[in-house]
Amino acid sequence: MIQEIDNSTYSSQLISLTNTSVATTNAVTTSNGIVRIAVTNACYMKIATTPTATTADTLLPAGSTSFFKMASGDKVALLGLAVTTGTATVTAMESVTY
């Protein structure tokens, strides 16, 4: 199975990483609940209906791309490390069998 970005119903959301928790503007909508998160700098990540990322949450390494299962309607919050800034993209994924 190959994961394909569903650009027909959902586009990537860009988040600027800072030392304050920032959530996606829109809730993620995906039929299979898979989201792709790509970050330029290390940050902490939280997925929830109204998330606030803290240093107790999942750490994403700089330059990483990760996939997570989440409920449709949830948002993603990211918290950059104190001395870093950067960007992240959050993209809903759809399963397409070829």
Token output for 67: 């996939």
Q: What is the structure's pLDDT at 33?
A: 82
For residue range 4-41, list pLDDT tens digits in order.
Answer: 555 555 568 999 999 999 999 988 877 778 889 999 99
Which superfamily does 2-96 belong to? Jelly Rolls (2.60.120.10)
For residue range 47-82, list pLDDT tens digits in order.
Answer: 999 999 999 999 999 999 999 999 888 999 999 987
SS (H, E, C) 1-65: CEEEECCCCCCCEEEEECCCCEECCCCCCCCCCEEEEEECCCEEEEEECCCCCCCCCEEECCCCE
Name which residue leads in pLDDT, 7 or 90.
Answer: 90
